[in-house]
Amino acid sequence: MKALGMIETIGLIGAIEATDTALKTADVEILNQHFVKGGIVTVELTGDVAAVRVAVVAGEEAARKLGSFVKSHVIARPGEMIGEMLEDKKEEKEEENQVIEEIKNPEEPVEVLKVLEVEAKEEIVSKIVKNNKSKN
């Protein structure tokens, strides 16, 4: 694995600004992002050691200007197990995004709408029945 750079911010806006600046500053790629409790967002970048260091410093400065910077760190050559752990997380995220896309853009939208229509009607009927029982 190449170098690993991490920028941690409070809030999504700071993370987006830091990442945008980092990507524009050096030849790095986004490896992953993590949304932690309390609004903390960590972005992982990868690339050559020098490029990652420059990108992380630039991203850190951009986040500082917004007042959302928490911490940054660069690991020059992470061990194999770290690389495998991060790649596994990346694959999980890609699978999750694929499922979300399938839900957003179903192959047979008419069928999905029919199912949703039936479920909505059943829910309305159920509410009417409950209201009638409570009145009696």
pLDDT digits (tens, 9 = 90+) for 74-92: 999 888 888 777 776 667 6
Instruction: State whether 59 and 113 are in the same domain.
Output: no
Instruction: State whether 131 and 64 are in the same domain.
Output: no
Instruction: State whether 18 and 84 are in the same domain.
Output: yes
Based on the structure, what is the number of domains in the chain?
Answer: 2
Q: Which residue has the higher pLDDT, 77 or 67?
A: 67
Partners of 47 in the β-ladder: 3, 28
Instruction: Please count the CA atoms within 13 angstroms of the CA of 7 that sit on its side-chain side.
Output: 34
Average confidence score pLDDT of the chain: 83
Give pLDDT, residue 79. 81
Give the separation between CA 29 and CA 118, rounded to whole angstroms: 45
Please name which of 2, 99, 80 lies closest in space to residue 44, comparing C-alpha atoms: 2
State the pLDDT confidence band at 121, using cuts at 50, 70 and 90: confident
What's the chain's Rg over C-alpha atoms? 23
Instruction: State whether 31 and 87 are in the same domain.
Output: yes
Q: Is the pTM of this model over 0.75?
A: no
Q: Which residue has the higher pLDDT, 34 or 27?
A: 27
Give pLDDT, residue 86. 72
Q: Which residue has the higher pLDDT, 88 or 7?
A: 7
3-state DSSP call for residue 108? coil
Please name which of 5, 4, 11 lies closest in space to residue 70, comparing C-alpha atoms: 11
Give pLDDT, residue 99. 67
Instruction: State whether 97 and 115 are in the same domain.
Output: no
Where in the sequence is the domain holding 27, given as residue range(s)? Answer: 3-102
Instruction: State whether 81 and 122 are in the same domain.
Output: no
Mean pLDDT of 91-101: 69
Instruction: State whether 94 and 113 are in the same domain.
Output: no
Amino acid, res. 29: E
